[in-house]
Structure 1
Amino acid sequence: MGARTATTLGEYGLHTVGDVADIPQLTLQRLLGARAGRALHERAQGRDTQVVNPTPTPASISSEHHFDRDELDPAAHRRALLALGTRLRASGQIASGLTCTIHYSDRSSTRRSRVLSEATQHTVLLARAAYAVYESLGLQRARVRSIALRADAFRPAGAATRQLTLDVSDDKPLAIEAVTDRARARYGHPVLYPAALAATPALGRRRAAGQGPGPEKP
Structure 2
Amino acid sequence: MTILCVRFQLPPMYEAALPGLLDLLEEFTPVVEALPPDGALIDVRGAERYFGRSAVELASVIRVRSLALHGVDCMIGAGPGPMLARMALRDARPGVTCAVTEDGVREFLDAKPVAALPGVGTATARTLCEYGLDTLGRVAAAPLATLQRLVGAKAGRELHEKANGVDRGRVVPNAVSHFRLRSSGGTPLLATDRLFDRDELDPRRHRRALLSAAEELGSRLRAVEKVCRSLTLTVRYADRSSTTRSRTLGEPTAHSADLTRTAYGLYEALGLQRARVRAIALRAEGLTPAEQASHQLTFDPADEKARRVEEVADRARAKFGPRAVMPGALAA
TM over 0.5: yes
Shift in Å, 1:187: 4.3
Q: Which amino acid aligns with 2:291?
A: G
User: 1:70–1:145: 8 Å Cα contact kept in structure 2?
Assistant: yes
| Aligned partner (choices 302, 308, 312) of residue 175 of structure 1 | 308
| C-alpha RMSD over aligned residues | 2.3
Deviations 1:70-118 (A, max 9, x none): 1222222222222210111112111001100000111111000011110
User: 2:251–2:294: 8 Å Cα contact kept in structure 1?
Assistant: yes
The TM-score, its normalising length taken from structure 2, stands at 0.40
Matches within 5 A, 1:39-54: none
User: 1:59–1:154: 8 Å Cα contact kept in structure 2?
Assistant: no
- Rg larger for: 1
Higher mean alpha-carbon deviation, 162-171 vs 58-67, is at 58-67
Indicate the residue corresponding to 1:73 in structure 2: 202
5+ unaligned residues in a row in structure 2: which ranges?
Answer: 1-183
Deviations 1:157-209 (A, max 9, x none): 101211112221222221111232244453444961254x665xxxxxxxxxx
CA 1:189–1:131: 2 relative to 1, 3 Å? farther
Paired with 1:165 and 1:188, the residues of 2 have a C-alpha distance of 29
SS of the residue 1:56 aligns to? helix
- The count of residues paired between Structure 1 and Structure 2 equals 144
User: Segments of 4+ in structure 1 off by > 3 A?
Assistant: 57-60, 182-185, 187-191
Percent of pairs identical after alignment? 53
Greater share of residues in helix: 2
Deviations 1:22-67 (A, max 9, x none): xxxxxxxxxxxxxxxxxxxxxxxxxxxxxxxxx7374951011111
User: 1:96–1:154: 8 Å Cα contact kept in structure 2?
Assistant: yes
1:156 aligns with 2:289: yes
Indicate the residue corresponding to 1:121 in structure 2: 254
Q: Which amino acid aligns with 1:71?
A: E
1:144 aligns with 2:277: yes
Q: Which amino acid aligns with 1:126?
A: L
The TM-score, its normalising length taken from structure 1, stands at 0.59
